[in-house]
Structure 1
């Protein structure tokens, strides 16, 4: 890729969602907006290397895309007459309406995460329209056939159109519930990037980066919202450990064995500052508590220095917000450090998580620490059978083999 193409790629990554959102506001048509923005970037690839990058690349893209959209609507005016004419009347620059948060990207994120859409469709649409990822990239990330993913996106767009889902940020009592859905979708994207469901690599750095970018956009557009700050803090603190999570050949390195000198100190400082801001707001929520748990890990000089009692207390608070079995499983890890593996194992064996590989992995570690080596090896094997990520599966099989070798 030459320097000109790289510059256009950078503008695409940063501005695609903004451009699509701007055109959706004007034209009210998702497909028209996407096609016009794609056309604008195609024109940029042809013109910018010769004419030079414009002073305002984002403005150039949006203006060019809008002109392309207007041209298309005009061509269709003969067939669609009244509808097309009404769009043309709206097409020139116009002021935003009176929403408290008028940013087009924020409206688009909330539209993508409307409760009328299934969660899988919310994630796919957010990545496609806001993040600019291709259908192929999204399908690869979530391990579904490209045709299946394309159908999901098409159906979701159709539902937005047919149900006349409003392109706006909800207000009043709607906002907290809808904001929770948006935060959940962004965090789902991050977690898939942090530990891929399957594949050869432990992590997908591109998905982590996209989720963090969306988190930053939310914090900029919703300043002072503690759960949004908590979301960003959680992601940057978790991502700070990325370089230490694998060996050079891609093998998994568990948290206790990681070289903390390889953790990203800038990300940690950013995350800690966000956690402190959340504490000052005194409006706790599940994402803030999870961020605080990661902050405790981040400030520990080494694994032995970890304040597990504080982590356990934070999990006790998190259980109030999310009493589900996954939180209980994670809490059991802290419980083992504070009160011993026996008490933790009793909790774990009461959870209905037999289909999850992490359940068997946690149970295996507790059994190992209790000296029940045969049962521990069997539990590691059960976890490996269920693990679809090669790095995780390799680690689990290695643990099983070590136990069997004594």
Structure 2
């Protein structure tokens, strides 16, 4: 009799525990959003080497990640109605121990054992039209526990991409580009992945007057907000902590100017043979005379740019996914980021050298801006179907270093 009573009591407790468990609501994500913008340069080796001052240059596959107008910017050597461009850049060969680096400029080492960055771009042109896409990704691993045991890492990947089209007007003097811009993030822990993503429209412009040694570029990146993309019955808990509700990439307005110096600098915006032939076939007047292929075009290029980065609400840094306390808010004020770069045709047709500087503001309150010194070179390799080149870049700053390498077309 006593045994039967004990069994009955145990069954009642089990039923009560199950009912209580069913009443406990599933954990919800934290209301803050991950801030996916970064002050450090994410782009081609040419762009990085010139301190990020590329909106006012906007040429080749190295350019349209900064200014989508590069999609319809024809190479001055182009002698056919179509063109193809490709670039692949590896952008995270660290010169110092990775754990000591400070990617988000908060004044503290990230304690990130691994990181990598790369850029892939593809460009297709036909007459005055251009179409292309680029994908640039940064991946960082953070320790999920204070002990930081081997394999116990949270991998954070941030991807910014665009699919865009552009069109040149007049004598290729004014180029307008419109694109679908996307910001995505994924958090991976022990084989499970939590995803975020959102899109917006971007508008870019380039003015390159004939017979003048300068260009003016404008790039407008939208603010992108993306929510957590829940998969089936996925939990909102990562490594014992609630995940964040979404991501936010601030809007960015970039204004850039480039100016060429030296003999023949007025040919900076010269027409390609293909563009000149097209204009004559269409009956255009005042078409510039044909230039010999070896005509000098100046040997020194200087470019300046200013980025205005919008404020955002309720945002935290990416590394907050591995923070054990309350994260610090970021991006609460408008940030201004100036860039200056130079390029020299050190061995015309064979070697170009580059140098640049930029000042990286901090999205964290109370942190001072961080100056960067950048540089690099590009070397012509060989001609096979296209002219191929190899380029490298470096980026040095307080608590940060980066070396990049790239394979692409010589333009």
What interval of TM-score do these two structures reach, taking the shorter chain for normalisation?
A: under 0.3
Larger relative contact order (CA 8 Å, sep ≥ 6): 2
Alignment TM-score, normalising by the size of structure 2: 0.19
Structure whose residues are more often strand by fraction: 2
Structure whose residues are more often helix by fraction: 1
Structure with max Cα Rg: 2
